[in-house]
Amino acid sequence: MSKSIYCYTCNVQHPIEEMRQIVTKKGIRWRCIKTIEAARLARDKRQEFGARTTAKNRADAQAKGRKTAAIVEDFDS
C-alpha cells in the first residue's frame, strides 16, 4: 500500500505518487498534481487574456496618440 499525503488544497489525502511539494508564502506544502495542473491552466488562460487586453489598450493609446497629434498638426497649419 502506497503512502498517502494530506493535500492542503483538497483537504483529503492522495497517494504520494499524485503529490508534489510546492513552496508557498507559509512554507512547503503538499499539493496534488491535479490541482497544480488546474491552477497552471487557469493562470495560462489569465495571462493570455491579459496579453490580449494589454495589446488592445496599447492600440487604443496609439490611436488616441495619433488623434492628438493630428489635432496638434491642425493647430500648426
Provide the binding-site residues for Zn ion, judged by CB under 5 A: 7, 9-10, 32
Rounded to the nearest 5 percent, the helix, strand and coil shares of the chain are 60, 25, 15
* Least gap, CB of 25 to Zn ion (angstroms): 19
Nearer to Zn ion, 40 or 52 (CB): 40
Q: Which cell numbers hold the place of 76?
A: 500648426
Contact 12, 24 (CB under 8 A): no
Nearer to Zn ion, 33 or 63 (CB): 33
* Least gap, CB of 35 to Zn ion (angstroms): 5
